[in-house]
Structure 1
Amino acid sequence: MKVLLVITSLSVGGAERLVTSLADEYVANGHEVILVRFHGDEEVRPSDSRVRLVNLEMQRSPLGVLTAMVRLRFLIRSFRADVINSHLVHANILIRVLRLVTPMSRLVNSMHNSNEEGLGRMLAYRLTDHLADVCTNVSQEAVEAFERQGALKPGRMLAIHNGIDTESFVFDSDERQRVRTELGLAENTSLLLAVGRLSDAKDYPNLLRAFARLEACPMVPQLVIVGDGPLRHDLEALADSHGIKDRVRFLGVRHDVPELMSACDLFVLSSAWEGFGLVVAEAMSCRRPVVATDCGGVREVVGSAGFLVPPKDSAALGEAIERALGLSNERREKLGAAARERVVERYSLQATAERYLAVYGNDNHISKE
């Protein structure tokens, strides 16, 4: 099968990591894959050199968008893909518009959230819904959220959970020690880790306010935040205003996330909204205790193998962090083992790739009526 994957960019994010991993999985199983992005550098990329990467180098202007669309149209016509699978809102809408003037055998649009941050985007989805053959989202909750917001008719979207490489995301005691030494942490200092783009969706102010409540802990923990984004300056200023600047480190983009997860004692997700919560599954695969906000599909991921709190409630988040840090070593080990077992059984990359491939090849999977 010839598969054309289209995504807005290859910045560091859950959707981008999933798409590059799917590309690797597809070519490993004998499919021909081109991965197209509209703009930006390759902050993440497939590991298999057989995946062909194309950057449309789209500029933020009407002429820049038109030029990129012409390039993409030429690529589609020359590659003759059996299926085109686009990911994230901008790629989804643009590829639908392009289908008005470009023949496509099968078009699958994949969303990765329950909230697209604006009525305009949901309206754009609704008006162009008929141009897609199938839509997917990363959790049943996210599917239902799209239906409630009128982005598409009920029954037009499937839930396909994100998958992770459970052989890469595994606890490593040697890497734990290496990273903790790099960070200058004492052996008995607890380390909290958060991973994700510094944007409104991740609600890092919620995390910083919760973290500021932990002064009463016998050993004051440290917090590391991995990722970058438009809110970095504001978040650094907020940490300073709460008097925790010396205990919070913003590491920016890192490419050793599994190792950082091994180094932490607790993984925290403070999001206001999510689609699936890929980083939560990755941390669980590394046998890490997790405290997360109950948003999007996160409850489906965590189950009983972690702590869930309401979104936008820093008091509840802080209390859950304290409870998790107070676990005995025995309880911590049992919780970590249960977390990994849950992820391996439910959210392996292979299972996710097989589900996507089944959708790619099934012309009658969802009616367009």
Structure 2
Amino acid sequence: MPKKPRAVASAPVHNLSQGQPDASSFPRNAWSASTRRALAAAPNDAFGPGDPQGRIELRTALVDYLARVRGVRAVQERIVICAGFADALRLLFGGGVLRGTPAVEAYGLAFHRALLAADGVRTVPLGLDDRGTRTEDLAGQRGVRSVLLTPAHQFPIGGPLTPARRNAAVDWARERGGVVIEDDYDGEFRYDREPVGAVQALDPEHVVYVGSTSKSISPALRLGWMVLPERLVDPVLAVKGRRERWTSVVDQLTFADLIVSGAYDRHIRRMRQRYRERRNRLVRALADQAPHIEVAGIAAGLHAVLRLPAGTEAATLKAAAWRGVSLDGLAGFRHPDSPVHLEGLVVGYATPSDHAYAAALAALCEILPPSS
């Protein structure tokens, strides 16, 4: 008996989901030009079995770019190309490179926690307050040898980790012989102040720095990188195996050319301006139509958090679904064992195309709870 075709979920009328750049802004012309140049310049061996460490052209380009833009201290020998942060987690924990229980932030992607759980890795949450994740609590965690942080822009709450807490995390890693895993998921997008540098620069031997193109260009590329302590390079490569299985060599060469040619910097500047204006329009709309709603986490990134009155998040999400507005509530990001309970909406203001943004903002304001 033939199987019934799988039902395809209908797209939301207004997509304000977090974690997605504006897909209509993919730099098609610049990417095509870089692909042509990269293919013309590539040596013949580029089209053989892929090097699991990644193409030397991309690793070399990243050394300069990451130092200049994020303050990362790297050499190409310590960079391993991967398919994004989730792939980095699989390599580090699923492959047994890192052992023991990792500490994580009280609020973060449930998807990442699920990946770890699938490999039998239990996580413990750290507390969170208005100064970020309480890294000073690491000292009291028994059996913890690593910690996952989003220090430049805590996900999803927002805000950078304070200098004191950055130092506390690195000091703990040195004393414990542990590792800080730094997820720099949207470090290029800061709007109201100078960029916050990478924690990795404080101690490259105790921080694994992970970045990707998922927010800056597109998650469809599946292109990321790890800057590793020297002692972890060979173990990670052993887990990857003899050949690259996930990340396209052509995409690696293209991205390397995009960086070296300056086209990537131009794209980032253009998108930073566009997303800043999107954020400003969100803030103005809320000030006009819902001044009782507090907006947080807006100094950087591609999303904002709308703080809601206690007991209103579930009803607001139900109203959003009825109105055709796709967004997330904070409850979906809370670690099950976290002592912290917050209510709010995570609004991805980068996701809609320009022509759809005004209607999405109007629909968002309609579903917010009234002032008490």
TM-score (norm 2): 0.30
Higher relative contact order, structure no. (Cα contacts within 8 Å, ≥ 6 residues apart): 2
TM-score normalised per structure 1: 0.30
